[in-house]
Each structure stands twice: as C-alpha cells, then as structure tokens.
Amino acid sequence: MRPLLFRGATLLAGGGDWAPRFGVDVLLRDGCVADTGASLDVTDAEIVEAGHLLLLPAFVNAHTHSPESLARGRAPMARLDEWLAAEYADGQDALPEARIRQAILISAAEAIRGGAVRVTDHFRQIPPNVESVAIAAAAWAEGGIRARVAMMLRDLPSPSASFTPPSTEAALAVAAALVKAPPKGAEIGLGPSAPQRCTDALLSGIGALAREHGAFVHLHLCETTKDAADCRARFGTDPVTHLERLGLAGPHVDYAHCVHLTDAELDLLAAAGTRMAHNPLANLRLGSGIAPVARAIARGVRLGIGSDGPGSNDTQDMLEAAKFALLLPRAGRPDAEWPTPAQIMTIATDGASLATGARADLLAFDLRAAAFTDAKPEEIVPRLLMAARPRDLKHVLADGAFLMRDGALMPPALAHLR
C-alpha cells in the first residue's frame, strides 16, 4: 500500500492530548503513523491536501448487538424487559446466514459513517452456536471493521425470554469450541448475557476458559435497578465482588452499562483493570438511569463508550453516542459529576493517539462545516462533540487504508449502502 501524507492538517493527537496543532503533516506508512511535523519531506507518498481537515484518532464502539440492526424502533415506550420481549419477538436471535450478514454489513456501514473502526459485538443467536459466530466474524471483516465478537451465553430463563436456554453443559461446550478454534475474521470472545441470567457454574466455566485460552469476556452488568437488586438478592453480596470470586474480572473483561454500581464496586473495577462499557443512548431510551461515569473516571476505572444495539439506540453512530456521554449526566447528576469534553474524547477513542508508531486509525472532519465556523482553538473539541454531524466527516481510515473517502464507503461489500 502506497504511503499517504495529509499535508497541513489540524491535528488532535489524542491519548489525552486534545490541544489542536495547526499546519501539521501526518504521514501514514504500512498501517502506522510514520511521522508528524511541519513540511515533511516525502517523495513516495500520495498527497492529501488537508488544510481544511481536522485529524483525530478513530472512535471505538465498546458495545453493540448487531442482529438488532434489522429491528429498530420497537417498543418505544418500554423499559428493558418489555423491550427485549418485543425486540426479539420475531426471530432476531435466530437469523439465517444471509440475514446475519445483512445485519452486520448495515452495522458496519453505519459504524464507519459515525467514525468507528473497531466494534465489540455482544452477539445473540439462539441456540448459541459456532457457525453463526463464524458468519458474523467474516461479515465484520468484509465490512472493513476490526471486530470483537462475543457469543452471548446463558443457562437461566427470564420473564422476557420466549425460549428455553441451553443447559450449562451445552453452553460451555459452545464456549469451549469457540476459544479452542476461533473463527477467522474477528477476535472471538465469550459473552455471558448477565449474571442474573447465568448460573455460577456457567460463569465460572467461562472465566476458566477465557483465562486458559487468552480470550476476552463481555457481559451486561447492573443495567437497571431491577438487575442490580436481583443480583444482590441472589448472591448475598454486590455483583462485582461475586463476579471477581468467579474469575470474571481483569483487563480481559468488560462490563456493559454498570448504571447501578456503588463507589465501592467502582473501586473494585479500577483495582482489577476491568473495563466499563458506557451506553448512554440505550440507557436513556430504556429509562435505565445515568451511569456514574465521572465517579468511575475519578477512581481510575477503564472506560469505553458503546452505541449499544441498533434496536435500543437506535443507531450505530459513535459521534452521537459520544455527545450523549458528555451531556446525559447533566440531566440528573451534580455538576461535579459532569465529564469534560476531553475526558469523553479519550474514552470514545479508547485512549488511542496519532503519535509516531501508533496504528493509523483516524478520522478527518471538514473544518469548513458550519459546526466549526470561527471556532477558537479551545472550542474545537467541544464543537466536535456537540455540533459536528456525520455529514461533516470526510474520511475514515483503519490501518492507514480508507474505509470512507470523501464521504463514500470504500469496502466493496458496503457499496450499495447509504
């Protein structure tokens, strides 16, 4: 692949550094940022004149459910359990191969247009099976997205479920098959649905398999007040402590939502390195509450931002999700618990930077857009989060290759999608 040079851009380097640098050349080579500086002397690169472009690290979608892209807008007045029953009422969790691929290509196109090049897909199909995960992994790769696919697993029924879940042994057999011979195209993990929907035997078995095979684990936790109350009543302790006892904690583990965690539980997450995947739009859509994001940041918890599934959001637009992550706490949290634009940008980009040697995952926004008119340097990041729209995003690159160029999706599998 020919080197690519963005000439004279405005650069938000990221990695916690969100002060704009002006007139910067950014050279991409072999999938990485090869150099940044003023007036780089490069003779073999394709030149992109970037005096009107704002470059920054690409977004990372920390939590979604791809099959829901075919079933949006359902049960608009419902809370979680009622919504789940409506969302999956006509077989979204038992899709044939062509429909899984269709759902994921739609999700991939929307992810790119919203600025994401990496996605964690908490993938639900009943019964859980290796074949559907293989289809999903291949479809994400076809759409140009570096995905992590975690097969959703459970062995306990719930009021909203219209199916009989598999036995513990059957669920663990699928889990073992996935991590022993992972399908190609994505990073494969294990996705227990939530602790209140799984026996301790399943949870501890998943934890052991993940440690043995170096797989990641991704699960819902305390999304609603009922979820939190059910966990505490069943376990006799807080759910974070219980999950840690079962081996489901650490840098390889993500807890999605975490709306109703105590400060003591947040301290446990920080100490273990467990990541919290914050989903502000779904929490708002389903009336689940406002996650304690600023308190988590203050305690050193690793965080990511997710769109959640396109049935509970109802988009995959990470620019929109980041905006709501910034603003939602202002509806019900004290002023001291309002995260800053810089904090949200760091979380939304998973701490990535465009420093020399970094992976060349980047976005290029058009500074000529109305959102940036007459912006002072200190206003660029707030305007990016609060005023910019996907139409202002011109280019999206992953590993130094265009996924979107001048607003056009580049992966051939997405050419028919708008």
Confidence band of 1 (pLDDT split at 50, 70, 90): confident
Q: If you average pLDDT over every residue of the chain, what do you get?
A: 97
Instruction: Answer whether residue 159 shows pLDDT above 90.
Output: no
At 82-107, the pLDDT tens digits run 999 999 988 899 999 999 999 999 99
Per-residue three-class SS string for the chain: CCCEEEEEEEECCECCECCCEEEEEEEEECCEEEEEECCCCCCCCEEEECCCEEEEECEEEEEECHHHHHCCCCCCCCCHHHHHHHHCCCCCCCCCHHHHHHHHHHHHHHHHHCCEEEEEEEECCCCCCHHHHHHHHHHHHHCCCEEEEEEEECCCCCCCCCCCCCCHHHHHHHHHHHHHCCCCCCEEEEEECCHHHCCHHHHHHHHHHHHHHCCCEEEEECCCHHHHHHHHHHHCCCHHHHHHHCCCCCCCEEEEECCCCCHHHHHHHHHHCCEEEECHHHHHHCCCCCCCHHHHHHCCCEEEECCCCCCCCCCCCHHHHHHHHHHHHHHCCCHHHCCCHHHHHHHHCCCCECCCCCECCEEEEECCCHHHCCCCHHHHHHHHHHCCCHHHEEEEEECCEEEEECCEECCHHHCCCC
Q: Check residue 162 and give its pLDDT.
A: 73
Instruction: Answer whether residue 260 shows pLDDT above 80.
Output: yes
Q: Are residues 41 and 63 in the same domain?
A: no
Instruction: Answer whether residue 161 shows pLDDT above 90.
Output: no
* Average pLDDT estimate for 192-218: 98
CATH number, residue 36: 2.30.40.10
Domain that holds residue 147: 59-348
At 318-353, the pLDDT tens digits run 999 999 999 999 999 999 999 999 999 999 999 999
Q: Are residues 342 and 357 in the same domain?
A: no
Q: Is the pTM of this model over 0.95?
A: yes
**How many domains, in total, are found in the chain?**
2
At 271-322, the pLDDT tens digits run 999 999 999 999 999 999 999 999 999 999 999 999 999 999 999 999 999 9
Q: Are residues 293 and 206 in the same domain?
A: yes
CATH number, residue 276: 3.20.20.140
Q: Are residues 71 and 53 in the same domain?
A: no
Instruction: Answer whether residue 196 shows pLDDT above 80.
Output: yes
Q: Check residue 122 and give its pLDDT.
A: 98
Q: Check residue 418 and give its pLDDT.
A: 73
Q: Check residue 53 and give its pLDDT.
A: 98
* Average pLDDT estimate for 381-392: 98
Q: Check residue 158 and give its pLDDT.
A: 80
Q: Give the end of a domain, one of 297, 328, 348.
A: 348
Q: Check residue 261 and give its pLDDT.
A: 98
Q: Give the end of a domain, one of 297, 322, 348.
A: 348
Instruction: Answer whether residue 148 shows pLDDT above 90.
Output: yes
Q: Are residues 52 and 67 in the same domain?
A: no
Q: Are residues 25 and 101 in the same domain?
A: no
Q: Are residues 307 and 280 in the same domain?
A: yes
Q: Are residues 358 and 212 in the same domain?
A: no
Instruction: Answer whether residue 248 shows pLDDT above 80.
Output: yes
Confidence band of 163 (pLDDT split at 50, 70, 90): confident
Q: Are residues 98 and 232 in the same domain?
A: yes
* Average pLDDT estimate for 219-236: 96
Q: Are residues 301 and 330 in the same domain?
A: yes
* Average pLDDT estimate for 401-405: 98
Q: Are residues 277 and 388 in the same domain?
A: no
Q: Give the end of a domain, one of 324, 348, 372.
A: 348
Confidence band of 62 (pLDDT split at 50, 70, 90): very high
Q: Are residues 160 and 105 in the same domain?
A: yes
Instruction: Answer whether residue 363 shows pLDDT above 80.
Output: yes
Q: Check residue 345 and give its pLDDT.
A: 98
* Average pLDDT estimate for 17-45: 96
